[in-house]
Structure 1
Amino acid sequence: MLIAYQEFFDYLIYERSLSPLTIQAYKRDIKEFALFLQQESLTIQDLDHKDLRLYSSSLLRKNNSQRSIARKISSLRTYFKFLNKNKYLTTNPFSYFESPRITHRLPEFLSFKEIEELLKVKLSEKEELNLRNLALIHLLYAGGLRVSELINLKLSDLDLENKELRVIGKGNKERIVLIYDLACSVLRNYLLNGRPLLVKEIDCPYLLLNKLGNKLTSRGVELILEKMGQQMKPPKRIYPHLIRHSFATHLLEGGADLRSIQELLGHESIEATQVYTHISSQTLQTGFRKAHPHSKKAP
């Protein structure tokens, strides 16, 4: 029922260099669509935009969120564009199909005071794990890293003398991230007094290790941050992207320009970075209303 299925995934892996997690999401989305085709006795060759609207409605009836539906449709749009471009299909039904609109929520972020509180949390009785956790948070906050970028950092990516990190981001794209003096100091301490007590294989290339001496996983990072957030007063839900959002918001509030923040975050498009202007504006308005004496008076 599906056409050029393996060829499409070879294209995603070898030409677009997508991450394994993204590949898995594409597979789930396309298999779910294949099941829909089977249930409706449809074939890919006979599809039109009305069938796509029917599929979109079926996703809504299954209580998928707007964001999930948009992602599933985006996966299919990429698949059909590939089929059309490579002559597996003569027409692309998605050319006449408008994707559902998403209501964008402003990203959450931590205040600088909350970042400072988070940095003081100690989870373990073993100091080497506390040093690693401290290094982990400073890397997320100093560089605005994605969790996948964080866990894949290697010792060779660190240039503490020049206060830089080499980061491999989405699509296997490389960028240089700047880090501040305190982060460099914390990393030196971890490399000297923390990592040597965690590492089991001397030739292990990865910077951040778990208690068994293996490369730290995305889930491992999430669990560490969740537990640290529970020790804050009051407890707060902490996750890797929250710190990335905080990094970008604090830079903007400190006077950095959008283009610089775009480069540091590794965003392909400036539109993805512009959401932080709304956050900063919202923060500015809140601060103004609290601080300006006339804003507290009724007209």
Structure 2
Amino acid sequence: MGPMDDQRQRSGWAADGPAGRIATPFDSSITGNNQVLPARLVRIQHLACLPLWETQLRSEKKSNHTIRSYMSTARRFSATIIPGEEEVDIEEISITEMHDRCNPNNGRLDLFIQAIANLRPATINARIAAVSHLFRYIGHRIPDWVHRPTASRPLPRTLTREEVMRVRRAAQDSENPLAHPIITLLLDTGMRVSELCALETGTIDLADCSARVYGGKGDKDRTVLFTERSVDAMEAWFGTRRLLIQRKNPPNDDVDAVFLTNRVARISTRYVQKMMDVIADEALIPRTRLTPHTLRHNFATGLLERGVDLVSIQRLLGHSNIQTTRIYLDISDQTLREIYHRAQSASLEE
């Protein structure tokens, strides 16, 4: 190899010979972009890719929300058209065709990254994560030039003690019989709204003051604990629930649901948020400040101000990573002042 060959290697082009010609890009063994379909996919390369990838996501215990987000991003990426291409049916793209579309050297990834460049950093990172997973599944990898912006994690938004009291009163006075038990459970257990909607009668043990949450975020199970206030609210609700079922039998899929609407159907996350909008109006709180997740934050900060250790809070919230729980230590000065005064008031009342 002479001086000219050294210069060609430094410039990123192959030397003369069987492996390349002058001005011919290096092959995948040099660039790191593997162009070979993984052996595990060779025999099924003619099948539609997206349904198989969705099955892979489910096998990895991704949450339903994550799967929907990943699938939506994958469809957007696959539908990105590069010059000279025609539109295709994304759902019918085979594994072989998807492997070609995911080639990081064909320009499709560049166009996709440009299309999402003006979104929030957290959204960009989420979409890059989805595409990265698809690339790995299909036998490619995201190049190093793809920049992942630094996303500042928002601090938890909580209600003041006075606002919490107003929310509890509004829920108790509400004409909706679901308002009181739902608000009480969200405040006293820290459950996610999806977990609340999925509760079934067989998972609740009022005598033990607990409930078992199955298939929570990341398809993980855990136990949530009830206060006496929660038990009282649930006992009152179960009486109302029995009357509802006597009037009209719920559908088979909802027969064991803990929370049923007036139509005797399982509640949805959308139903809960609409109900909370009404509660917010009654409690004179902006609707944007009263969400199921806000009450979950109140639950966590309430434990923290009572001196509960971070590991216990992590388990009660169902966080898989304690770093997620640590965000409650990075609360704002204003929240810190509120927590301090609440703790002081509580000690004086005792």
One-letter amino acid of the counterpart of residue 112, structure 2: Y
Which shifted more, 214-223 or 167-176? 167-176
Question: Which residue identity lines up with residue 167 of structure 2 in the other structure?
Answer: L
TM-score, normalisation: structure 2: 0.70
Does 2:238 align with 1:174?
A: no
Write the distance in 2 (CA, Å) between the matches of 1:5 and 1:125: 46
Matches within 5 A, 1:156-195: 156-168=202-214, 169-192=216-239, 194-195=240-241
- Provide the rounded CA distance (Å) in 2 between the counterparts of 1:24 and 1:124: 37
The aligned counterpart of 1:24 is 68
Deviation readout 1:257-282 (Å, 9 max, x if unpaired)? 11111111111111111111112765
Please state how far the C-alpha of 1:236 moved relative to its aligned partner. Answer: 4.5
How has the CA–CA distance of structure 1 residues 231 and 46 changed in structure 2, closer, same or farther, with 3 Å as cutoff?
Answer: same
Of 262, 284, 304, 1:211 maps to 262
Aligned to 2:31: none
Alignment partner for residue 303 of structure 2, among 251, 256, 262? 251
Q: CA deviation at 1:159?
A: 1.0
The answer (yes or no) to whether the contact 1:49–1:96 under 8 Å persists in 2 is: no
8 A contact 2:314–2:322 mirrored in 1: yes
Task: Look up the SS of the partner of 1:103 in the other structure.
Answer: coil
Deviations 1:220-273 (A, max 9, x none): 001000111011135443111111111111111111111111111111111111
Map Cα deviations across residues 141-192 of structure 1 (whole Å, 9 max, x no partner). Answer: 1211111101000011111111111012112211011111111111111112
Q: 1:143 aligns with which of 174, 189, 203?
A: 189
Q: Quote the residue 1:297 is aligned against.
A: none
2:169 alignment counterpart: 120
1:65 corresponds to: 120
Question: Which letter maps to 1:39?
Answer: I
1:40 CA displacement: 5.3
The one-character-per-residue Cα deviations of 1:178-229 (angstroms, maximum 9, x if unpaired) are: 111111111111112x212333327710101111111001100010001110
Q: Which residue of 2 aligns with 1:283?
A: 335
Q: Tell me which residue corresponds to 2:8.
A: none
Counterpart position of 2:55: 10
Q: Look up the match of 1:261.
A: 313
CA distance in 1, matches of 2:231, 2:143: 49
Equivalents in 1 of 2:304, 2:106: separation in Å? Answer: 42
Name structure 1 gaps, 5 residues minimum.
84-88, 290-299
* Segment drifting more, 144-153 vs 272-281: 272-281
Residues 176 and 123 of structure 1: CA distance in aligned 2, closer, same or farther (over 3 Å): closer
Relative to structure 1, the CA distance from residue 273 to residue 49 in structure 2 (aligned partners, 3 Å threshold; closer, same or farther) is: farther
Shift of 1:77: 1.6
Of 225, 232, 243 in structure 2, the residue corresponding to residue 197 of structure 1 is 243
Calculate the aligned-residue CA RMSD, in Å.
2.8
Contact 2:181-2:234 at 8 Å conserved across structures: yes
Q: Would you tell me which structure has more helix in proportion to its own residues? A: 1
Structure number, greater radius of gyration: 2
The residue aligned with 1:33 is 77
Identity of aligned residues (%): 27
Q: Across the two proteins, how many residue pairs are aligned to each other?
A: 274
CA pair 261-41 structure 1, distance change in 2 beyond 3 A: farther
Measure how far apart 1:48 and its partner are.
Answer: 5.0
Q: Which has the higher contact order (CA 8 A, sep 6+)?
A: 1
